[in-house]
Amino acid sequence: MRPLMLSRIVLALCFLLLVSPSTALARSRHGDGVPYIVVLDPGHGGDDPGAADSSQTMVEKVLTLDVAKHAASDLRAMGYRVYLTRTRDQDVNVPPRDVNHDGKIDHVDELVARNVYANRRHADVFISVHFDASASPDTHGTHGYYCPDRPFRGQNQRLAALLTASISSSLARARYASPDLGVGTDVADIVPQTRADYPWFLVLGPSKKGYVVGTRMPGALIETLYLSSPRDVAALHHRAIMAALAQGYAGGIKEYFDGRARH
Ligand SMILES: [Zn+2]
């Protein structure tokens, strides 16, 4: 072994010693040089198909996974670290566990499992990807939900608003005019009102012992396009529109981080 090679090896070892601890310590979310961590949650999956169009060929759980996967690759190309709560057509709570410790395994555990996943990944943002459906075939567009009853309510609202705006303009760039219907609070939505003791979305609301483990980071739930709208469904048959949705999500997340100072 020539001295030059030996010194190179010593240098390489020194470098490894220097780099390894800092890589291990990179768990702290806000350390310099550590990429922001994004958890995308493709809505529904497995036994829960979500909404579908009238012909049952456009199924929400399939579309959400498609958009989330493409948004993830767009975001990774931008340098973010991205995790998906599911990468296949299956439940997130597998094998089934009583995640909230209420003595039974049900749909609440399935949703809480998504929050727990984001917490375990130390995510900086949690975004649940959905498509909507309405009784009226004329209703179309994109809207978002945020929870106002969290310490980071302002960030929730900002994240949701940036996402709906970014998705709508991304669709416009793909030549599909689709309105930004803005954001609303999860408590104002009809679904939680059927659950008086927990009036929030299970994936956005605060922790409640024996029921919900809340996320520890800002989050939003976005509903893009309506599977009850023949116009929106026709658009979704085009790859360019699906790509535009993914780019819209990625762009909104980037804007959120770009406008937020590291601390
Ligand atoms: Zn949904």
54-107: pLDDT as tens digits: 999 999 999 999 999 999 999 999 999 999 999 999 999 999 999 999 999 999
The residue among 96 and 2 whose pLDDT is bigger is: 96
Residue among 11, 211, 209, 30 nearest 109 (CA): 211
Banded model confidence at residue 32, pLDDT cuts 50, 70, 90: low
pLDDT confidence tier of residue 192, bands split at 50, 70 and 90: low
Give distance in angstroms: CA of 49 to centre of ligand 1: 9
Phi, psi dihedrals of residue 169, rounded to the nearest 5°: -75, -30
Whole-number Å distance between alpha carbons of 181 and 97: 37
CATH class of 34-258: alpha beta
What pLDDT does 127 receive? 98
Distance CA 176, CA 231 (A): 10
For 13-26, write each residue's pLDDT tens digit: 444 444 333 322 33
Residue 189: pLDDT band with limits 50, 70, 90:
confident
Q: 52 C-alpha to center of ligand 1: Å?
A: 10
Residues 6+ apart with CB under 8 A from 19: none
Peptide bond connecting 21 to the previous residue in cis, omega within 30 degrees of 0: no
Integer Cα distance of 225 and 241 in angstroms: 11
Q: Give the whole-angstrom CA distance, residue 202 versus residue 188.
A: 14
Structure confidence at residue 196 as a pLDDT band (50, 70, 90): confident
Query: What distance in angstroms lies between residue 11's CA and the mean position of ligand 1's atoms?
Result: 53
The domains of the chain are located at 34-258
In the structure, ligand 1 is a single-atom ion and the residues with CB under 5 Å from it are 43, 50, 130
Put the strands of the sheet holding 37-42 in their side by side order: 81-84, 37-42, 125-132, 219-226, 142-146, 180-185
pLDDT at 195: 80
pLDDT at residue 247, rounded to an integer? 98
Does residue 49 have a pLDDT over 60?
A: yes
Asked if 67 and 129 count as a contact pair (C-beta separation under 8 A), the reply is yes
Least confident of 109-123, 176-190, 231-245: 176-190
Give residue 223 CA to ligand 1 midpoint distance, Å: 7
**Contact between residue 52 and residue 40 where contact means Cβ atoms under 8 Å apart:** no
DSSP 206: -
* 51 Cα: distance to centroid of ligand 1 (angstroms): 6
Between the CA of 50 and the centroid of ligand 1 the distance, in Å, is 5
- Beta-bridged to residue 143, according to DSSP, are 223
